[in-house]
Protein backbone atom coordinates (compact mmCIF):
# COMPACT_ATOMS: atom_id res chain seq x y z
CA UNK A 1 0.00 0.00 0.00
CA UNK A 2 1.46 3.36 -1.07
CA UNK A 3 0.62 6.53 0.87
CA UNK A 4 1.18 10.07 -0.38
CA UNK A 5 1.52 12.99 2.05
CA UNK A 6 1.03 16.43 0.54
CA UNK A 7 2.48 19.58 2.14
CA UNK A 8 4.51 17.08 4.15
CA UNK A 9 6.58 19.90 5.69
CA UNK A 10 7.95 18.92 9.08
CA UNK A 11 5.61 15.97 9.73
CA UNK A 12 8.45 13.46 9.85
CA UNK A 13 6.93 11.69 12.87
CA UNK A 14 3.73 10.99 10.93
CA UNK A 15 5.56 9.58 7.90
CA UNK A 16 7.65 7.44 10.23
CA UNK A 17 4.60 6.09 12.10
CA UNK A 18 3.26 4.92 8.72
CA UNK A 19 6.66 3.62 7.59
CA UNK A 20 6.95 1.45 10.69
CA UNK A 21 3.65 -0.23 9.82
CA UNK A 22 4.37 -0.70 6.13
CA UNK A 23 7.89 -2.06 6.30
CA UNK A 24 8.65 -3.33 2.78
CA UNK A 25 4.99 -3.64 1.88
CA UNK A 26 4.45 -0.08 0.74
CA UNK A 27 6.03 3.20 -0.18
CA UNK A 28 5.70 6.45 1.76
CA UNK A 29 5.75 9.37 -0.66
CA UNK A 30 6.16 13.00 0.43
CA UNK A 31 5.41 16.13 -1.56
CA UNK A 32 6.26 19.68 -0.57
CA UNK A 33 6.78 22.93 -2.44
CA UNK A 34 10.05 23.52 -0.58
CA UNK A 35 13.09 21.35 -1.23
CA UNK A 36 14.27 21.98 2.35
CA UNK A 37 11.14 20.45 3.94
CA UNK A 38 12.51 17.91 6.43
CA UNK A 39 9.79 15.33 5.72
CA UNK A 40 11.35 14.85 2.27
CA UNK A 41 14.34 13.31 4.07
CA UNK A 42 12.32 10.55 5.74
CA UNK A 43 9.97 9.52 2.93
CA UNK A 44 10.83 6.57 0.68
CA UNK A 45 10.22 8.81 -2.31
CA UNK A 46 10.04 12.61 -2.28
CA UNK A 47 8.96 15.27 -4.73
CA UNK A 48 9.06 19.01 -4.79
CA UNK A 49 5.74 20.15 -6.22
CA UNK A 50 4.52 23.53 -7.44
CA UNK A 51 3.04 25.81 -4.79
CA UNK A 52 -0.58 25.08 -3.81
CA UNK A 53 -1.59 28.36 -5.46
CA UNK A 54 -0.06 27.27 -8.78
CA UNK A 55 -2.69 26.15 -11.30
CA UNK A 56 -0.64 23.06 -12.16
CA UNK A 57 -0.61 21.73 -8.58
CA UNK A 58 -3.54 19.33 -8.92
CA UNK A 59 -2.25 17.99 -12.27
CA UNK A 60 1.15 17.30 -10.73
CA UNK A 61 -0.41 15.49 -7.78
CA UNK A 62 -2.51 13.36 -10.14
CA UNK A 63 0.63 12.48 -12.09
CA UNK A 64 2.38 11.25 -8.93
CA UNK A 65 -0.74 9.37 -7.78
CA UNK A 66 -0.92 7.56 -11.13
CA UNK A 67 2.82 7.00 -11.62
CA UNK A 68 3.30 5.46 -8.19
CA UNK A 69 -0.03 3.64 -7.74
CA UNK A 70 -0.89 5.69 -4.69
CA UNK A 71 -3.59 4.11 -2.51
CA UNK A 72 -4.26 7.04 -0.19
CA UNK A 73 -3.48 10.76 -0.07
CA UNK A 74 -3.18 12.53 3.28
CA UNK A 75 -3.05 16.34 2.96
CA UNK A 76 -1.41 18.15 5.87
CA UNK A 77 -1.91 21.85 5.18
CA UNK A 78 -5.11 23.83 5.78
CA UNK A 79 -4.71 25.87 2.61
CA UNK A 80 -4.83 22.88 0.30
CA UNK A 81 -7.79 21.11 1.91
CA UNK A 82 -10.45 23.01 -0.13
CA UNK A 83 -8.48 22.35 -3.32
CA UNK A 84 -8.20 18.61 -2.72
CA UNK A 85 -11.85 18.39 -1.67
CA UNK A 86 -12.88 20.22 -4.85
CA UNK A 87 -10.84 17.94 -7.12
CA UNK A 88 -11.50 14.76 -5.15
CA UNK A 89 -13.34 12.92 -7.94
CA UNK A 90 -10.57 13.69 -10.45
CA UNK A 91 -7.80 12.70 -8.04
CA UNK A 92 -9.62 9.51 -7.00
CA UNK A 93 -10.39 8.43 -10.58
CA UNK A 94 -7.53 5.90 -10.63
CA UNK A 95 -8.59 4.26 -7.37
CA UNK A 96 -6.70 6.36 -4.81
CA UNK A 97 -8.53 7.49 -1.67
CA UNK A 98 -8.19 11.21 -0.80
CA UNK A 99 -8.63 11.45 2.97
CA UNK A 100 -10.27 14.86 3.20
CA UNK A 101 -13.52 16.30 4.60
CA UNK A 102 -16.18 17.79 2.32
CA UNK A 103 -15.90 21.37 1.07
CA UNK A 104 -18.60 22.70 3.37
CA UNK A 105 -16.91 21.47 6.56
CA UNK A 106 -13.51 22.68 5.36
CA UNK A 107 -15.00 26.11 4.74
CA UNK A 108 -16.56 26.17 8.24
CA UNK A 109 -13.22 25.22 9.80
CA UNK A 110 -11.04 27.66 7.84
CA UNK A 111 -13.31 30.68 8.47
CA UNK A 112 -13.30 31.38 12.21
CA UNK A 113 -16.50 33.42 11.89
CA UNK A 114 -18.29 30.44 10.34
CA UNK A 115 -16.80 28.23 13.06
CA UNK A 116 -18.28 30.53 15.73
CA UNK A 117 -21.72 30.42 14.12
CA UNK A 118 -21.48 26.64 13.67
CA UNK A 119 -20.82 26.15 17.40
CA UNK A 120 -23.63 28.57 18.26
CA UNK A 121 -26.14 26.72 16.08
CA UNK A 122 -25.16 23.44 17.75
CA UNK A 123 -25.64 25.07 21.17
CA UNK A 124 -21.98 24.44 22.02
CA UNK A 125 -20.44 27.17 24.23
CA UNK A 126 -17.86 29.24 22.34
CA UNK A 127 -16.25 32.62 23.08
CA UNK A 128 -18.42 35.59 22.07
CA UNK A 129 -17.13 36.75 18.70
CA UNK A 130 -17.64 39.90 16.62
CA UNK A 131 -16.83 40.78 13.05
CA UNK A 132 -16.68 44.58 13.38
CA UNK A 133 -15.30 47.15 15.76
CA UNK A 134 -18.75 48.77 15.95
CA UNK A 135 -20.51 45.58 17.07
CA UNK A 136 -17.75 45.01 19.60
CA UNK A 137 -18.08 48.50 21.08
CA UNK A 138 -21.86 48.09 21.27
CA UNK A 139 -21.49 44.77 23.10
CA UNK A 140 -19.01 46.36 25.50
CA UNK A 141 -21.42 49.26 26.17
CA UNK A 142 -24.29 46.84 26.68
CA UNK A 143 -22.14 45.00 29.21
CA UNK A 144 -22.50 41.65 27.44
CA UNK A 145 -18.79 41.64 26.56
CA UNK A 146 -15.79 42.40 28.80
CA UNK A 147 -12.06 42.94 28.43
CA UNK A 148 -9.58 41.39 27.84
CA UNK A 149 -10.37 40.64 24.19
CA UNK A 150 -8.45 38.79 21.50
CA UNK A 151 -8.02 40.07 17.95
CA UNK A 152 -7.16 37.53 15.28
CA UNK A 153 -7.40 37.12 11.52
CA UNK A 154 -10.69 35.58 10.38
CA UNK A 155 -8.74 33.25 8.12
CA UNK A 156 -5.39 32.25 9.46
CA UNK A 157 -3.62 29.55 11.33
CA UNK A 158 -1.00 29.33 14.02
CA UNK A 159 -0.41 32.20 16.42
CA UNK A 160 0.37 34.74 13.69
CA UNK A 161 -1.26 38.16 14.05
CA UNK A 162 -3.04 37.42 17.32
CA UNK A 163 -3.29 40.40 19.70
CA UNK A 164 -4.65 40.75 23.24
CA UNK A 165 -6.19 44.06 24.34
CA UNK A 166 -7.20 45.22 27.81
CA UNK A 167 -9.19 48.41 27.22
CA UNK A 168 -10.86 50.52 24.55
CA UNK A 169 -7.74 52.50 23.71
CA UNK A 170 -5.74 49.31 23.13
CA UNK A 171 -8.61 47.83 21.13
CA UNK A 172 -8.64 50.80 18.73
CA UNK A 173 -4.87 50.81 18.37
CA UNK A 174 -4.44 47.06 17.88
CA UNK A 175 -7.37 46.92 15.46
CA UNK A 176 -5.87 49.66 13.28
CA UNK A 177 -2.42 48.09 13.32
CA UNK A 178 -3.67 44.57 12.62
CA UNK A 179 -5.80 45.86 9.73
CA UNK A 180 -2.72 47.55 8.24
CA UNK A 181 -0.56 44.48 8.72
CA UNK A 182 -3.13 42.12 7.18
CA UNK A 183 -3.56 44.46 4.21
CA UNK A 184 0.22 44.45 3.63
CA UNK A 185 0.47 40.67 3.88
CA UNK A 186 -2.50 40.12 1.56
CA UNK A 187 -0.93 42.57 -0.91
CA UNK A 188 2.23 40.51 -0.72
CA UNK A 189 0.19 37.40 -1.49
CA UNK A 190 -1.49 39.18 -4.42
CA UNK A 191 -4.79 38.35 -2.79
CA UNK A 192 -6.73 41.59 -2.85
CA UNK A 193 -10.17 40.13 -2.38
CA UNK A 194 -12.05 40.30 0.86
CA UNK A 195 -10.23 43.07 2.66
CA UNK A 196 -13.36 43.78 4.73
CA UNK A 197 -14.30 41.93 7.89
CA UNK A 198 -10.99 40.11 8.03
CA UNK A 199 -10.45 40.62 11.78
CA UNK A 200 -12.33 38.76 14.49
CA UNK A 201 -12.71 40.26 17.94
CA UNK A 202 -13.26 37.61 20.54
CA UNK A 203 -13.86 37.35 24.26
CA UNK A 204 -10.65 36.05 25.90
CA UNK A 205 -11.52 32.92 27.84
CA UNK A 206 -9.45 32.54 31.00
CA UNK A 207 -9.26 28.81 31.49
CA UNK A 208 -7.21 25.71 30.77
CA UNK A 209 -6.71 25.05 27.07
CA UNK A 210 -7.09 21.54 25.66
CA UNK A 211 -6.60 19.92 22.27
CA UNK A 212 -8.69 17.01 21.02
CA UNK A 213 -8.29 14.67 18.07
CA UNK A 214 -11.74 13.56 16.94
CA UNK A 215 -11.62 10.42 14.82
CA UNK A 216 -14.33 9.50 12.30
CA UNK A 217 -14.10 6.65 9.83
CA UNK A 218 -13.86 7.29 6.09
CA UNK A 219 -17.67 7.39 5.82
CA UNK A 220 -17.80 10.10 8.51
CA UNK A 221 -19.03 7.78 11.29
CA UNK A 222 -17.62 8.70 14.71
CA UNK A 223 -15.18 6.35 16.42
CA UNK A 224 -13.59 8.09 19.45
CA UNK A 225 -11.68 11.19 20.55
CA UNK A 226 -8.36 11.75 22.28
CA UNK A 227 -7.74 14.72 24.53
CA UNK A 228 -4.57 16.55 25.57
CA UNK A 229 -4.25 19.22 28.25
CA UNK A 230 -1.96 21.83 26.69
CA UNK A 231 1.05 22.88 28.73
CA UNK A 232 2.70 25.09 26.13
CA UNK A 233 2.51 26.20 22.52
CA UNK A 234 5.24 26.97 19.98
CA UNK A 235 4.67 28.53 16.56
CA UNK A 236 0.94 27.94 17.02
CA UNK A 237 1.43 24.21 17.62
CA UNK A 238 0.98 22.26 20.85
CA UNK A 239 4.52 21.80 22.14
CA UNK A 240 3.93 20.10 25.49
CA UNK A 241 0.81 18.35 26.77
CA UNK A 242 -0.60 15.80 29.19
CA UNK A 243 -2.89 13.05 27.88
CA UNK A 244 -6.41 13.12 29.36
CA UNK A 245 -9.25 10.60 29.49
CA UNK A 246 -12.57 12.22 30.36
CA UNK A 247 -16.12 11.14 29.48
CA UNK A 248 -17.53 14.68 29.30
CA UNK A 249 -14.86 15.64 26.76
CA UNK A 250 -15.48 12.49 24.70
CA UNK A 251 -19.20 13.25 24.70
CA UNK A 252 -18.52 16.72 23.26
CA UNK A 253 -16.23 15.12 20.69
CA UNK A 254 -19.06 12.84 19.61
CA UNK A 255 -21.54 15.74 19.28
CA UNK A 256 -19.08 17.62 17.08
CA UNK A 257 -18.18 14.55 15.02
CA UNK A 258 -21.83 13.79 14.30
CA UNK A 259 -22.38 17.38 13.21
CA UNK A 260 -19.34 17.64 10.95
CA UNK A 261 -19.24 14.04 9.66
CA UNK A 262 -15.64 14.85 8.77
CA UNK A 263 -13.40 12.16 7.27
CA UNK A 264 -10.59 10.72 9.41
CA UNK A 265 -8.97 12.84 12.08
CA UNK A 266 -9.99 16.38 13.06
CA UNK A 267 -8.00 18.51 15.49
CA UNK A 268 -10.01 20.77 17.88
CA UNK A 269 -9.22 23.31 20.57
CA UNK A 270 -11.31 24.01 23.63
CA UNK A 271 -11.10 25.78 26.98
CA UNK A 272 -12.29 24.44 30.29
CA UNK A 273 -13.60 27.08 32.71
CA UNK A 274 -14.89 25.44 35.86
CA UNK A 275 -16.99 22.65 34.36
CA UNK A 276 -17.94 24.56 31.22
CA UNK A 277 -16.31 23.63 27.91
CA UNK A 278 -15.84 26.42 25.34
CA UNK A 279 -14.99 25.26 21.82
CA UNK A 280 -12.71 27.47 19.80
CA UNK A 281 -11.37 25.98 16.58
CA UNK A 282 -11.43 22.91 14.35
CA UNK A 283 -8.93 21.71 11.72
CA UNK A 284 -10.07 18.68 9.69
CA UNK A 285 -6.61 17.09 9.33
CA UNK A 286 -3.73 15.76 11.44
CA UNK A 287 -2.85 18.64 13.79
CA UNK A 288 0.52 19.54 15.27
CA UNK A 289 -0.57 17.99 18.57
CA UNK A 290 -1.28 14.53 17.10
CA UNK A 291 2.12 12.96 17.91
CA UNK A 292 1.56 13.76 21.60
CA UNK A 293 -1.70 11.74 21.52
CA UNK A 294 -0.02 9.05 19.45
CA UNK A 295 2.69 8.55 22.06
CA UNK A 296 -0.16 8.36 24.59
CA UNK A 297 -1.42 5.17 22.94
CA UNK A 298 -3.75 5.92 20.01
CA UNK A 299 -2.33 4.72 16.70
CA UNK A 300 -4.34 6.49 13.98
CA UNK A 301 -1.95 5.40 11.17
CA UNK A 302 -2.68 1.73 12.00
CA UNK A 303 -6.40 2.53 12.03
CA UNK A 304 -6.19 4.32 8.65
CA UNK A 305 -4.40 1.33 7.11
CA UNK A 306 -7.02 -1.05 8.54
CA UNK A 307 -9.82 1.09 7.07
CA UNK A 308 -8.01 1.37 3.73
CA UNK A 309 -7.83 -2.43 3.65
CA UNK A 310 -11.60 -2.50 4.17
CA UNK A 311 -11.40 -3.87 7.74
CA UNK A 312 -12.67 -2.40 10.98
CA UNK A 313 -10.80 -4.37 13.65
CA UNK A 314 -9.38 -1.20 15.15
CA UNK A 315 -9.88 -1.30 18.92
CA UNK A 316 -6.54 -3.09 19.22
CA UNK A 317 -4.88 0.15 18.04
CA UNK A 318 -6.60 2.24 20.69
CA UNK A 319 -4.63 1.98 23.91
CA UNK A 320 -4.91 5.61 24.92
CA UNK A 321 -4.07 6.31 28.55
CA UNK A 322 -4.32 9.54 30.53
CA UNK A 323 -1.85 11.41 32.73
CA UNK A 324 1.25 11.04 30.59
CA UNK A 325 3.31 14.14 29.75
CA UNK A 326 4.93 14.51 26.33
CA UNK A 327 7.08 17.34 24.98
CA UNK A 328 8.48 18.13 21.58
CA UNK A 329 12.12 18.89 20.96
CA UNK A 330 14.16 19.21 17.77
CA UNK A 331 15.48 16.45 15.59
CA UNK A 332 17.87 17.43 12.79
CA UNK A 333 17.76 15.79 9.37
CA UNK A 334 19.86 16.32 6.29
CA UNK A 335 17.76 17.16 3.27
CA UNK A 336 18.97 15.27 0.20
CA UNK A 337 19.91 17.17 -2.92
CA UNK A 338 17.38 17.06 -5.75
CA UNK A 339 18.04 14.58 -8.55
CA UNK A 340 16.78 15.77 -11.90
CA UNK A 341 15.06 13.02 -13.84
CA UNK A 342 15.70 13.70 -17.53
CA UNK A 343 12.66 11.70 -18.62
CA UNK A 344 10.24 13.91 -16.75
CA UNK A 345 9.77 17.46 -15.61
CA UNK A 346 9.65 16.33 -12.00
CA UNK A 347 12.50 16.96 -9.64
CA UNK A 348 12.66 14.13 -7.16
CA UNK A 349 14.84 12.82 -4.37
CA UNK A 350 14.73 9.08 -4.87
CA UNK A 351 15.77 7.19 -1.78
CA UNK A 352 15.30 3.65 -0.47
CA UNK A 353 12.77 3.04 -3.19
CA UNK A 354 11.22 -0.41 -2.79
CA UNK A 355 8.18 -0.29 -5.05
Q: Give the number of other Cβ atoms within 10 Å of residue 21's Cβ.
A: 19
CA distances in angstroms from 86 to 18, 105, 238, listed in the order given: 26, 12, 29
What distance in Å separates the CA atoms of residue 266 and residue 216, rounded to the nearest whole number?
Answer: 8
Q: Residue 285 Cβ, how far from its own copies at the closest point, in Å? A: 16
Q: Does 184 bind its own copies (CB under 8 A)?
A: yes
Q: Residue 148 Cβ, how far from its own copies at the closest point, in Å? A: 10
What distance in Å separates the CA atoms of residue 109 and residue 135, rounded to the nearest whole number?
Answer: 23
What distance in Å separates the CA atoms of residue 19 and residue 86, rounded to the nearest whole number?
Answer: 28
Q: Give the number of other Cβ atoms within 10 Å of residue 340's Cβ.
A: 9
Question: With contacts defined by CB under 8 A, how many residues of the chain interact with its own copies?
Answer: 44
Residues in the chain: 355
The residue within the footprint of its own copies, chosen from 122, 131, 137, 231 (CB under 8 A), is 231
Pairing of strands 163-165, 149-153: antiparallel
Burial of 323 (0-12, 13-18, 19+ CB in 10 A): exposed
Closer CB to its own copies, residue 45 or residue 85?
45
Per-residue binding letters, 303-332, with its own copies (x by CB under 8 A): ---------------------xxxxxxxxx
Question: CA torsion 334→337→343→345, rounded to 10°?
Answer: 90
Q: Residue 301 Cβ, how far from its own copies at the closest point, in Å? A: 14
Closer CB to its own copies, residue 59 or residue 323?
323
What distance in Å separates the CA atoms of residue 179 and residue 184, rounded to the nearest whole number?
Answer: 9
Q: Does 193 bind its own copies (CB under 8 A)?
A: no
Q: Residue 208 Cβ, how far from its own copies at the closest point, in Å? A: 14
The residue within the footprint of its own copies, chosen from 21, 31, 39, 212 (CB under 8 A), is 39
CA distances in angstroms from 98 to 71, 88, 231, 282, listed in the order given: 9, 7, 33, 19
Residue 77 half-sphere exposure toward CB, CA atoms < 13 A: 16
Q: Does 153 bind its own copies (CB under 8 A)?
A: no
Q: Does 13 bind its own copies (CB under 8 A)?
A: yes
Q: Residue 73 Cβ, how far from its own copies at the closest point, in Å? A: 21
Site for its own copies in 104-133 (CB under 8 A): none
Q: Residue 165 Cβ, how far from its own copies at the closest point, in Å? A: 9
The residue within the footprint of its own copies, chosen from 38, 75, 253, 287 (CB under 8 A), is 38
Q: Does 337 bind its own copies (CB under 8 A)?
A: yes
Q: Residue 257 Cβ, how far from its own copies at the closest point, in Å? A: 25
The residue within the footprint of its own copies, chosen from 206, 275, 334, 355 (CB under 8 A), is 334
Residue 238 DSSP SS3 = strand
Closer CB to its own copies, residue 95 or residue 172?
172
Q: Does 195 bind its own copies (CB under 8 A)?
A: no
Residues pairing with 233 in the sheet: 238
The residue within the footprint of its own copies, chosen from 62, 112, 240, 262 (CB under 8 A), is 240
Q: Does 180 bind its own copies (CB under 8 A)?
A: yes
The stretch among 50-58, 77-85, 172-180, 193-201 that binds its own copies (CB under 8 A) is 172-180
Task: Give one DSSP letter per residue of 134-186, joined into a string.
Answer: HHHHHHHHTTS--S-EEEEESB--TTTT-EEE-SHHHHHHHHHHHHHHHHHHH
Closer CB to its own copies, residue 88 or residue 324?
324
Where does this chain bind its own copies (CB under 8 A)? 10-13, 35-39, 41, 163-164, 166, 169-170, 173-174, 176-177, 180-181, 184, 231-232, 234-235, 240, 291-292, 294-295, 324-335, 337
Amino acid sequence: MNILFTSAGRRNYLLNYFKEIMGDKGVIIAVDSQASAPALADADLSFTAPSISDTSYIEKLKEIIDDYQVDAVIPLNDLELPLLAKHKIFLESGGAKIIVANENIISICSDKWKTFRFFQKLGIPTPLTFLSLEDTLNALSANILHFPLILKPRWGSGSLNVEIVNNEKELGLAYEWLKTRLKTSSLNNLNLSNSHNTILIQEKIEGQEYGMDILNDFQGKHYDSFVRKKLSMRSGETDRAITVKNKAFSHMGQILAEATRHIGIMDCDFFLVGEKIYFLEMNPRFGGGYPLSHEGGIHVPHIYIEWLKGGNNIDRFNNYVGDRTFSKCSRIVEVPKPVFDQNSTKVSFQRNLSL
